[in-house]
Copies of this chain bind each other. A is one copy, B any other.
């Protein structure tokens, strides 16, 4: 069974190589540049190898998206724990979120625009998703007032998601990002 382990390990490594290469390609040249031929050439294997690891291109994108959710959760957690105070935590998490979306547009697209098959209530990769949402819950809890924290967290998240997308497509005025973020936090996080 000795070689079997090596084969398995090498296989796992190659799978990681595929995911990493797809992500790098997407982040540097956009997802439209990530074709199965190009990806195969980049990892120095033939196309069919990709299909021995993933059921198709969509599955590869989903794998990249899963990585993204892990990193997003990490970033949110780091922002929250580094901040002190309710208002500061909210602002830190909000900023970390929009920064993430702005700095990794291709990754963010894989997570939210493509890869719709990644459900929240599923068992495929719910850990990172729930972990990310938990950060919102944590930071929003103190200002929930009579409202359900889950509801407020979802709405807060939606606001950030909308801001990230609209700003990226150039549909909001110039550089007022900070002002909009402040407005969102100021208003959304004050119970009536």
Q: Confirm or deny: A158 has a beta carbon within 8 angstroms of a beta carbon on chain B.
A: yes
Q: Would you call A161 and B165 a contact (CB within 8 A)?
A: yes
- Number of A interface residues, CB 8 Å? 38
* Cβ-defined contact, B187 with A172, below 8 A: no
Q: How far is the CA of A160 from the CA of B35 in the complex (A)?
A: 34
Bound CA–CA A169/B154 (angstroms): 14
Identify A171's interface contact among B113, B120, B173, B190, CB under 8 A. B120
- Interface-lining segment among A9-17, A43-51, A178-186: A178-186
Contact check: which of B161, B169, B192 meets A162 at CB < 8 Å? B161
Beta-carbon contacts under 8 Å, A62-107 to B: none
CB-nearest residue of chain B to A122: B170
Number of copies: 2
Question: What residues of B have a CB within 8 angstroms of the CB of A119 in the complex?
Answer: 170-171
Residues B150 and A159 in contact, CB atoms below 8 Å apart: no
B contact residues around A188 at 8 Å (CB): 159, 184, 187-188
Given contacts A120-B172, A155-B183, A186-B192, 19 further A-B contacts (CB under 8 A): A113-B113, A119-B170, A120-B170, A120-B171, A151-B179, A154-B166, A154-B173, A154-B180, A155-B159, A155-B184, A157-B162, A159-B162, A159-B184, A161-B162, A161-B166, A162-B165, A184-B188, A187-B191, A190-B192
24 interchain pairs (CB within 8 A)? A116-B170, A119-B170, A119-B171, A120-B172, A148-B179, A151-B176, A151-B179, A152-B183, A155-B163, A155-B183, A155-B184, A155-B187, A157-B166, A158-B159, A158-B162, A158-B163, A158-B166, A158-B180, A159-B159, A159-B162, A161-B165, A162-B165, A165-B165, A187-B190
